[in-house]
Amino acid sequence: MCGRMNFDSKHSKVISEFFGCDFSAPSNNNLSPGQSVATLIGRDTNNDSNSRSLDKPIFKQLDTTWGIQPSWSKRLLINAQSETVLSKGTFKEAIKTHRCLIPCSGWYEWRTEQGKKQKYLFSHVNDEPMLMAGIWYVKQSNMRGQSQSTNEKLSSEPKQQLVTLTTAPNLKCAEYHQRMPVIVLPQYRDFWFHSAAEQLPPLFEAIDQDYIKVTAT
């Protein structure tokens, strides 16, 4: 589910204004696991001497690499099921302290039609940016035995890694896939960042299908 995202840089200004911080990401209509993904995180205003207002949350951009690979996994993990994110060992601590929102212009799914795979873009009905729910991790790299060129490449990559959250789909999205991203509506931004993890499940439910349009690409 949601192994490809779309981001249009025209949405950077809207995101910057909504979060009250500088946000900038290049356009990418094939944002894939392993690539750099720009996210937004909450900043603790009580510990930030540069906070402009203590009665409102402050946010900042955090660049991440999409996917983690725990020592027990043979493959890259890019998604976490929201139904078990509070209980599974890999995710339960991150959902408490390392939540993020991923601005995107949409995501892609494929469906087999007449023997061929057709690609579909899922985007906001009014072409507004959407906010995917995610959790982030500090990258753990074992540099032993790696060449200098490999080390240089790693040092230039984001030092954080990203996992996006998924949920059971609404009726429209269910026609294409059995999962969909958790989308946090703008009015729940502060609740997402500042509530206890145990209070989050209502946000894990699929957004109403009327928010989404589906376009064959």
Kindly list the distances between the CA atom of residue 145 and the CA atoms of 4, 139, 160, 163, 216, in Å, as whole numbers in the listed order: 32, 18, 22, 27, 46
Specify the CATH number for the domain of residue 85. 3.90.1680.10
What is Dmax (Cα atoms) for the chain? 60
Domain coverage including residue 197: 5-216
Which DSSP string do the residues of 138-203 spell out, in sequence order? E-----TT--HHHHHHHHHS-SEEEEEEEE---HHHHTT-S-EE-B--GGGHHHHHHS-GGG-GGG
The one-letter amino acid at 121:
L
Task: Dump pLDDT digits (tens) for 50-82.
Answer: 444 455 558 999 999 999 999 889 999 999 999
Counting the structural domains of the chain, the total is: 1
Under DSSP, the state recorded for 200 is -
Q: What angle do CA 58, 66, 62 make, to 5 degrees?
A: 20
Kindly list the distances between the CA atom of residue 48 and the CA atoms of 58, 140, 214, in Å, as whole numbers in the listed order: 9, 26, 42
Task: Dump pLDDT digits (tens) for 154-193.
Answer: 455 679 999 999 999 999 999 999 999 999 999 999 999 9
- pLDDT averaged over the chain? 89
What pairs with residue 116 in β-bridges? Answer: 113
Give residue for tokens 């959790």: 135
Helix (H, G, I), strand (E, B) or coil at 168: coil
What is the distance between the alpha carbons of residues 144 and 128, in angstroms, rounded to a whole number? 45
Q: What angle do CA 5, 213, 8 make, to 5 degrees?
A: 40
Phi, psi of 150 (to 5 degrees): -65, -40
8 A C-beta contact, residue 207 and residue 183? yes
What pairs with residue 119 in β-bridges? Answer: 110
pTM (predicted TM-score) = 0.87
Q: Which two tokens stand for residue 138?
A: 């500090």
pLDDT surpasses 50 at 47: no
pLDDT of residue 58: 87
pLDDT of residue 143: 30
pLDDT surpasses 70 at 144: no
Pick 145 or 128 by higher pLDDT: 128
